[in-house]
Amino acid sequence: MSAVFDQFTGTSRYIASDELKHAVNVAVALARPLLVRGEPGTGKTLLAENLAEALGLPLIRWHVKSTTKARDGLYVYDTVARLHDSRFGGDGHDVRDIAKYIKLGPLGEALAAPSRVVLLIDEIDKADIEFPNDLLHELDAMKFRIDETGKEVAATERPIVIITSNNEKELPDAFLRRCVFHYIQFPTRELMSEIVRVHHPDITDKVLDNALEVFFGLRSTPRLRKKPSTSELVDWICALKKANVDLSRVSGGIPFLGTLLKTEQDIELMGKRAKA
Amino acid sequence: MLVDFLFELRAKKVPVSTHEWMALMEAMALGLHESSLDGFYHLCRTLCVKDIARYDAYDEAFLAYFKDVHVDALRLTQDIADWLQNPRALEGLTDEQRAAMQAMDFEKLRELFEQRLKEQKERHDGGNRWIGTGGTSPFGTGGKHPSGIRVGGGGQRSAMAVADKRLFKEYRRDVVLDVRQIDVALRGLRRLGRDGAVEELDLDETVDQTCKNAGEIEVVMRPPRRNRVKVILLMDVGGSMDPHAELVSRLFTAASRAGRFAKFRSYYFHNCVYNSVYEDANFSKAVPVADLLATSDRDEKLVVVGDALMHPGELLDPGGSLYLSSTYGSGRASGIEWLRRLAHHFRSSAWLNPEPERFWSGTTIEPIASVFPMFPLTLDGMAASVRYLVRGGEKPRIGEPAKWMKVS
C-alpha cells in the first residue's frame, strides 16, 4: 500500500471499526475534510484526538456553539480593546497597529501553523444553518485574507480536518459535496467488548458479559427516549467496579441506573418493567 | 463502465455530483479502493453518499449494478486451489458415487472449472454444467454433485453481502418521522428579524457613534434576532384520520415548542373545513372561519394536516357537511369553497398529507391539491413544504383536478 494510505489504525485507547479507519485514511489521502456523524456517545470527538495522537500531530479544537459565526473561526478583530486603548491609553499600546488587535480563531490558527495539524470542528450542526456554507472557500482553498490588514494566511500543509455532527440540522449540499462522509454505526457486541476492555483492562469475562447483556437489553427496550451510549456504558462499569457490585447477584432492577438513563420518563418506564 | 453506476445511483435518487465522482476517480487512481469490490463499496459510499438516509438506496443501486460481477475471480481460484490441496475424506459415499468421483480426477476437475469460469457470463441456478446454485453441476454452491467445488458462500463479509443485508433501511427518509426529525425539518421555517426589547450590544454602530463623538464612548443597543414566522396549524381529527393520530400529534409537539415561531395557533376540523374550525379536538369551541381570517395577517403561514379523503359530495356540494344540515343560511358554501377562501387569504400555505403518495390519484386529494400545495407527511415532504412556504415556487401538481370540477 502506498505511503499516503493506511496511516491511521486506531490507538491503544481507541478502537475503530475497519470502515472508520478506511474513511479516515481516504480523507487524509485526498486532503478533504472528514465529516463524521453518528449517535451521541459513539466517539466522534475522540476520533480527532486519537488521530492526532496516532499521527503525532498537534490538535486544534473548534467547539461550535449556537452563536458561533464562521468568521470567528478565522480571526476576531478586537474592536472593543482597541477602542478601550485609544480612549484610556496604556503603556506600550500602539493603537495604530491594527495587527495587534487581530486574534486568530481555531481555523485561522490551523492554517497559520508552520506544520501539518489536525483540526477538529466539533458539532458543526449546533451553529446557524448558513454556517457551513460560510466556510466553503476557506476549507477548499485552505487560505483566507484578513481584511483589516490585507494580510493573507495560507496553509503550508493542508491540515487534516475532522468535522462532527449530531444530525441536529441538515447540512447544505454544497458543503457535503466537499467532504468525505462516515456514519459511525453503533458498535456490535464484539466491538463493544473490545472497547470496554480498552477502558477497563482488568475486567473479567463474566462481569463484562453480564454488563453487556444488561446494556444491550436496555438498548433494545422499546420507547426509550434516549438510548444509553458507549460512553455511558464505560461510566456505568466504572461505577459498578468502584462500588464492587456483582451483577450476577443483583436482583430487582439495575444498579446505578442513573448513569445509563438520563431522562425521568425512561427511568420510570424501566421501573414499571422491573415490577411487571 | 463505471459511469453507468453513477447513473444507476442517480436513478435511485442518490444525489451524486460530478464533483464527488471526480473525487472518486482521483481516489481510485491513488489505489484507495484496494483493488477490490469491498474496498470500492466503502470508498464510493464514503465519497458519494453524504446522508445516512440514502445508504439504503446506495445499497440497492450497488446490488443492481454489481450483481453479475463475479466476486474477485482471483480469490476464487485461490480458494479452489486451497480446496484441492486438502481433499475431504471420501468415506460415506456409495460405491456408485465413488465410481463417479474416480471418473473425474482433481486435475481434470480443476481444468474444467477454470474453463467454465472463463466461459460463464451469467448467473446459473439449477443446471448441470455451469457454476451456479442448486444444481447438479460439480461447481457452485447449494448443489447436489457429490464431488463438486463449492464456490463462494461463507467466510468474509463481502461488499455484496453487506449491501444485500440492507442494514440502513430504517434510516430511509421517505418513511419514518419522530418528533426530533420533525423538529429538524421545521427549523428551516424561519425568517429572522430584529424586534422586541433592545438587549444586545451593536458593536459596529457603537464604534461608529463613538468615532463621531470624538472618542467619547457611545453605547448602542439593539434587539436580538428572532424568528418572525407566524404559523397557523389546522388539523383534521377523527374518522379516517385515526390511524394517523400518533403522527399528527408528533407534528403538533414539534411545532408547538416554545419559542419556535413568533406566533403559533392551532385549530381542529373534521373531514373538511366548513364555516367553522375548532379550538379543541372535541369540537366544543367553534371559531368561525370568517373570524379566523379577520384576525390573522396575510403573511402568516397556514399549514393544514389531513388525509383530504372524503366523499366527493362532502367536498363539492354546498351543504355537504353532516354538521351543517341544521344551519341553513344564505352563506352556504361547499367544502372546497371554504378551502379556497382560506388558501386565498394566506400568501403561503401548504397541506401535509399522511396518506402515502401512491394512493392519492383518483380521490378527493386531487381537487384539494389544486387549492393547497399538497405534500406527503414524510421527512422529504416536510422539507419540501418548508421550502415552499419560505421561498415559494412551483405548486406540486397532482392528478387532473379539472375532471372533478365538472362533476360538481
State the cell numbers at B191.
425568517
Distance (Å, rounded) from C-alpha B75 to C-alpha A205? 37
Give the C-alpha distances (Å, rounded to integers) separating B211 from A88, A122, B258.
14, 38, 41
Q: What angle do CA B22, B25, B29 make, to 5 degrees?
A: 140
Please indicate, yes or no, whether residues B112 and B205 belong to a single structural domain of this protein: no
Please indicate, yes or no, whether residues A164 and A198 belong to a single structural domain of this protein: no
Supply the pLDDT for residue A3.
40
Q: Specify the CATH number for the domain of residue B350.
A: 3.40.50
Distance (Å, rounded) from C-alpha A227 to C-alpha B338? 46
Chain A residues touching B187 at Cβ < 8 A: 129, 169
Q: Do A29 and B30 touch (CB under 8 A)?
A: yes
Interacting residues of B269 by C-beta distance below 8 A, sequence separation 6+: B234, B235, B236, B237, B277, B278, B306
Give chain B's mean pLDDT.
Answer: 73
Supply the pLDDT for residue B289.
87
- The DSSP call for residue A223 is T
A163 by DSSP, 3-state: which?
strand
More confident residue, B259 or A47: A47
Please indicate, yes or no, whether residues A125 and A53 belong to a single structural domain of this protein: yes
Please indicate, yes or no, whether residues A162 and A221 belong to a single structural domain of this protein: no
In this structure, are strands B132-133 and B230-236 parallel, antiparallel, or unpaired?
unpaired
Give bridge partners of residue B305 from the DSSP assignment: B235, B352
Supply the pLDDT for residue B192.
67
Q: Does A62 reside within a domain?
A: yes
As for how many domains chain B has, the answer is: 4
Chain B residues touching A171 at Cβ < 8 A: 50
Please indicate, yes or no, whether residues B277 and B373 belong to a single structural domain of this protein: yes
- Residue B258 above 70 pLDDT? no
Shortest CA distance from B49: residue in chain A: A181
State the cell numbers at B178.
419522530
Chain B residues touching A26 at Cβ < 8 A: 27, 32, 43, 46-47
B187 in contact with A at a CB cutoff of 8 Å?
A: yes
| Domain span at B368 | 228-407
Shortest CA distance from A36: residue in chain B: B50
Shortest CA distance from A82: residue in chain B: B207
Supply the pLDDT for residue B132.
44
Q: Does A77 reside within a domain?
A: no
Please indicate, yes or no, whether residues B218 and B309 belong to a single structural domain of this protein: no
Distance (Å, rounded) from C-alpha A106 to C-alpha A74? 7
In this structure, are strands A151-154 and B132-133 parallel, antiparallel, or unpaired?
unpaired
**Cα dihedral: A165, A167, A173, A174 (round 10):** -20
Q: Which of A14, A22, A9 is nearest to A194 (CA)?
A: A14
Radius of gyration of chain B (CA): 33
* Mean local confidence (pLDDT), B201-230: 82
Please indicate, yes or no, whether residues A24 and A152 belong to a single structural domain of this protein: yes
Q: State the pLDDT confidence band at B224, using cuts at 50, 70 and 90.
A: confident
Distance (Å) from the C-alpha of residue A174 to the closest C-alpha of chain B? 10
Distance (Å, rounded) from C-alpha A211 to C-alpha A232? 12
Q: Do B188 and A170 touch (CB under 8 A)?
A: yes
Please indicate, yes or no, whether residues A53 and A123 belong to a single structural domain of this protein: yes
Supply the pLDDT for residue B143.
39
B29 in contact with A at a CB cutoff of 8 Å?
A: no
Q: Which of A152, A148, A116 is nearest to A137 (CA)?
A: A152
Chain B residues touching A181 at Cβ < 8 A: 46-47, 49-51
Q: Does A238 reside within a domain?
A: yes
Q: Does B371 reside within a domain?
A: yes
* Strand extents, DSSP E, A67-155: 75-77, 102-104, 118-122, 143-146, 151-154
Supply the pLDDT for residue B333.
77
Supply the pLDDT for residue A33.
93
Please indicate, yes or no, whether residues A153 and A234 belong to a single structural domain of this protein: no
Give the C-alpha distances (Å, rounded to integers) separating A218 from A197, A204, A208, A267, B288.
20, 21, 15, 11, 50
Please indicate, yes or no, whether residues B208 and B85 belong to a single structural domain of this protein: no
Please indicate, yes or no, whether residues B390 and B255 belong to a single structural domain of this protein: yes
Phi-psi domain of A71 (left: phi exceeds 0; alpha: psi -120 through 50; beta: other): alpha
Q: Does B342 reside within a domain?
A: yes
Least confident of B267-276, B283-292, B314-323, B349-358: B314-323
B210 in contact with A at a CB cutoff of 8 Å?
A: yes
Q: Do A181 and B383 touch (CB under 8 A)?
A: no
Interacting residues of A215 by C-beta distance below 8 A, sequence separation 6+: A192, A228, A233, A236, A260
Nearest to A180 among B31, B46, B52 (CB): B46
- Residue B259 above 90 pLDDT? no
User: Which of A124, A151, A184 is where one domain is finished?
Assistant: A184
* Pair B283, B270: CB distance under 8 Å: yes
Interacting residues of B296 by C-beta distance below 8 A, sequence separation 6+: B230, B232, B265, B345, B346
Nearest to B52 among A26, A37, A177 (CB): A37
* Pair B240, B307: CB distance under 8 Å: yes
State the cell numbers at B248.
399528527
Please indicate, yes or no, whether residues A42 and A135 belong to a single structural domain of this protein: yes
Supply the pLDDT for residue B154.
37
As for how many domains chain A has, the answer is: 2
Q: Does A42 reside within a domain?
A: yes
User: Which of A158, A184, A210 is where one domain is finished?
Assistant: A184
Give, for A239, the enclosing helix (H) or strand (E). Answer: helix A230-243
Distance (Å, rounded) from C-alpha B339 to C-alpha B317? 13
Supply the pLDDT for residue B82.
59
Shortest CA distance from B202: residue in chain A: A80
* Mean local confidence (pLDDT), B82-103: 55
User: Which of A184, A206, A239 is where one domain is finished?
Assistant: A184
B30 in contact with A at a CB cutoff of 8 Å?
A: yes
- Residue B366 above 70 pLDDT? yes
| Domain span at A260 | 189-275
Give bridge partners of residue B231 from the DSSP assignment: B264, B301
Q: Do A173 and B15 touch (CB under 8 A)?
A: yes
Supply the pLDDT for residue B176.
46
Please indicate, yes or no, whether residues B111 and B30 belong to a single structural domain of this protein: no
* Pair A169, A37: CB distance under 8 Å: no
Please indicate, yes or no, whether residues B263 and B360 belong to a single structural domain of this protein: yes
Q: Do A1 and B184 touch (CB under 8 A)?
A: no
Chain B residues touching A32 at Cβ < 8 A: 23
State the cell numbers at A154.
495560507
Chain A residues touching B43 at Cβ < 8 A: 22, 26
Distance (Å, rounded) from C-alpha A142 to C-alpha A119? 12
Q: Does A33 reside within a domain?
A: yes
Give bridge partners of residue A112 from the DSSP assignment: none
Q: Which of B146, B112, B142, B147 is nearest to B130 (CA)?
A: B112
Please indicate, yes or no, whether residues B300 and B358 belong to a single structural domain of this protein: yes
Q: State the pLDDT confidence band at B323, using cuts at 50, 70 and 90.
A: low
Give, for A14, the enclosing helix (H) or strand (E). Answer: none
Please indicate, yes or no, whether residues A60 and A135 belong to a single structural domain of this protein: yes
Cell 463417479 sits at which residue? B100
The sign of the CA dihedral B173, B177, B180, B186 is positive
Give the C-alpha distances (Å, rounded to integers) separating B269 from A71, B280, B339, B343, B371.
48, 9, 12, 16, 17
Please indicate, yes or no, whether residues A43 and A116 belong to a single structural domain of this protein: yes
Please indicate, yes or no, whether residues A178 and A143 belong to a single structural domain of this protein: yes
Q: Does A92 reside within a domain?
A: no
A21 by DSSP, 3-state: which?
helix
Please indicate, yes or no, whether residues B102 and B251 belong to a single structural domain of this protein: no
Please indicate, yes or no, whether residues B200 and B127 belong to a single structural domain of this protein: no
Chain A residues touching B50 at Cβ < 8 A: 35, 171, 176-177, 179, 181
The sign of the CA dihedral B11, B14, B17, B18 is negative
Q: Do B27 and A29 touch (CB under 8 A)?
A: yes
Q: Specify the CATH number for the domain of residue A54.
A: 3.40.50.300
Please indicate, yes or no, whether residues A137 and A262 belong to a single structural domain of this protein: no
More confident residue, B295 or B145: B295
Q: Does A82 reside within a domain?
A: no
Please indicate, yes or no, whether residues A226 and A150 belong to a single structural domain of this protein: no
- The DSSP call for residue A129 is T
Shortest CA distance from B214: residue in chain A: A87
* Mean local confidence (pLDDT), B280-308: 85
Nearest to A87 among B52, B167, B217 (CB): B217
Per-residue pLDDT of chain A (276 residues; tens, 9 = 90+): 334 455 677 677 788 888 888 899 899 988 899 999 888 778 888 899 989 988 889 999 999 987 888 888 999 988 878 878 887 776 666 778 888 889 999 999 999 999 999 999 999 988 877 788 888 888 888 989 998 888 999 998 899 999 998 876 678 888 888 899 998 888 888 888 888 888 888 888 888 888 888 888 888 877 777 788 888 888 888 888 888 877 666 666 678 888 888 877 778 877 777 666
Please indicate, yes or no, whether residues B294 and B366 belong to a single structural domain of this protein: yes
CB burial of residue B112 (10 Å; 0-12, 13-18, 19+): middle
* Mean local confidence (pLDDT), B191-206: 76
Supply the pLDDT for residue B155.
37
Distance (Å, rounded) from C-alpha B211 to C-alpha B221? 16
Supply the pLDDT for residue A60.
95
Please indicate, yes or no, whether residues B239 and B387 belong to a single structural domain of this protein: yes
Q: Does A241 reside within a domain?
A: yes
In this structure, are strands A118-122 and A160-165 parallel, antiparallel, or unpaired?
parallel
